[in-house]
Homo-oligomer: A and B are copies of this chain.
Amino acid sequence: MKKISVAIVGASGYTGLELIKLLLNHPNFELSYMGTSEGGGKASDLHPSLLHVIDIDIKKSDPKEIANKCELAFLALPHKTAMEFAKKLLEFGVRVIDLSADYRLSLENYEKHYGKHLDEEHLKEAVYGLPEINREKIKKASLVANPGCYPTASILALLSFKPFIKENTPIFIDAKSGVSGRGKKITYSEHFVHVNENFISYNALNHRHEPEITEILNKSGIKNDIYFVPHLLPITRGMLISAYIQLKEPINAKNILTEFYKNEKFVRIRDEAVSVKMTAGTNFCDIFATSKNDVAFVSSSIDNLLRGASAQALANANLMFGFDEDLGVPKIAYVP
């Protein structure tokens, strides 16, 4: 079989690097184009760990050049920039997986939290790329909006409990993420001395992923208000979600999860507390839940850069091109 040519636009960040690493190991996709805003140099200049591994030139990202070469583009760009590229690439007939927030929300929700949208036309057709809820739509999509990391872990944690959640009660999501989730930007908030031996919440009840979680859960039938507080873990990679829900009546949380996800390849239901290390390096979402009286605690763990970004994007790419969802998608954790 001839390989599918793909592009990475925005190859210099962490999710860009993860995409490169994943595509190097994929049997059916070929990484033919890597672009950054400036261009220049080799992949190993951007990411020294790639020395002697891949030797491709870095281009100044150009939609037309991409269209000449590639059938699919992954956009690992800041929001706003992403939709400028997506729009052009789609017009040239390139299928797009966008890892930014640009196509994840309804127009109204987007403009409330991110400002003016520049590509309403494609926004309408974009498919939210969480395979567990949109698998069939993803297969046919030209444009996949790859979910945020917090929403991925939160939605997967909550989805199965829809019939059991008490109406009009708030759902609380206490989230914790490693520092790689903040990207490569450099402020004192990412300084080693500030983060190390520390732990802190940020944007409490006011984070942009809250409306994403709310909108997707609402569409899935969970209409409760979501209250979301993220915290910064002094680790590089990984994310843990602790969700608290109020129930109509006592449940067997484990059974509900097991039944709901029984056919899913990338969700593992655990008997014991899930940990960040069990999923780091993989596309798995591990979930543990327990309940007491009419309250349940649900905890999910993902690799924020993989299931929360690049590996989920690859699973979506597999679906879009008719391959097995797990083809080349990592399942083996970095443990120890």
Give the B-binding residues of A (Cβ under 8 A).
14, 17, 21, 24-25, 47-53, 170, 172, 174, 176, 179-180, 184, 186-188, 190-202, 204-206, 225, 227, 229, 231, 233-238, 240, 242, 244, 246, 265, 268, 270, 273-278, 280-281, 284, 288, 290-293, 295, 297, 299, 305, 331-336
Q: Which residues of B contact A197 (CB under 8 A)?
A: 197, 235-238, 276-277, 280
Q: Are A201 and B273 in contact (CB under 8 A)?
A: yes
- Chain B residue, CB-CB nearest to A202: B273
The answer to whether B231 and A268 touch across the interface, beta carbons within 8 angstroms, is no
Residues on the B chain within 8 Å of A297, using CB: 201, 204-205, 227, 229
Q: How far is the CB of A250 from chain B (nearest CB, A)?
A: 12
B242 touches A201 (CB 8 A): yes
B201 touches A229 (CB 8 A): no
**Which residues of the partner chain B approach A274 to less than 8 Å between Cβ atoms?**
200-201
A268 to B71, CA, bound (A): 34
Q: Which B residues lie within 8 Å of A24 (CB)?
A: 332
Query: For A238, what are the chain B residues with a Cβ–Cβ distance below 8 Å?
Result: 197-199
Q: Are A278 and B205 CB-contacts (below 8 A) given A174-B242, A192-B196, A242-B174?
A: no
Q: Across the interface, which residues of B come within 8 angstroms of A277, CB to CB?
A: 49, 194, 197-198
**A311 smallest CB distance to B (angstroms):** 13
A-B contact pairs, 5 of them (CB 8 A): A51-B278, A184-B188, A192-B195, A204-B297, A234-B234
Q: Which of B49, B204, B293, B333 contacts A290 (CB 8 A)?
A: B204
Q: How far is the CA of A201 from the CA of B192 in the complex (A)?
A: 17
Nearest opposing residue in chain B for A235, CB measure: B197
Bound CA span A188–B179, Å: 13
A171 to chain B, nearest CB (A): 10
A294 nearest CB neighbor, chain B only:
B170
With known contacts A48-B278, A192-B195, A336-B14, A200–B292 Cβ distance under 8 A: no
Please give, as numbers and ranges, the residues of chain B lying within 8 Å of A335 by CB-CB distance.
17, 47, 49
In the bound complex, what is the Cα–Cα distance between A288 and B50 (angstroms)? Answer: 16
In the complex, what residue of chain B is closest to A282 when comparing beta carbons? B49
Question: Given that A192-B179, A204-B299, A268-B51 are contacting pairs, would A233 and B199 also be in contact in the complex, using a CB cutoff of 8 Å?
Answer: yes
Complex alpha-carbon distance, A238 and B244, angstroms? 24
Are A237 and B336 also in contact (CB < 8 A) when A199-B275, A276-B199 are? yes
**A240 (CB) vs chain B CBs: closest residue:** B199
Q: Report the separation of the CA atoms of residues A278 and B299 in the bound assembly, to the nearest whole angstrom.
A: 28
The answer to whether B25 touches A332, judged by C-beta atoms less than 8 angstroms apart, is yes
> Which of A198, A240, A275 neighbours the largest number of chain B CB atoms within 10 Å of its CB?
A198
Q: Are A293 and B17 closer than 8 Å at their CB atoms? A: no
Residues of B within 8 A of A172 (CB): 172, 174, 244, 295
Q: How far is the CA of A236 from the CA of B184 in the complex (A)?
A: 20
Of chain B, the residue at the smallest CB distance from A177 is B199
Does A198 contact B235, Cβ atoms closer than 8 Å? Answer: yes
With a cutoff of 8 Å between Cβ atoms, the chain B residues found around residue A331 in the complex are 52-53
Contact, CB under 8 Å: A336 / B227: no
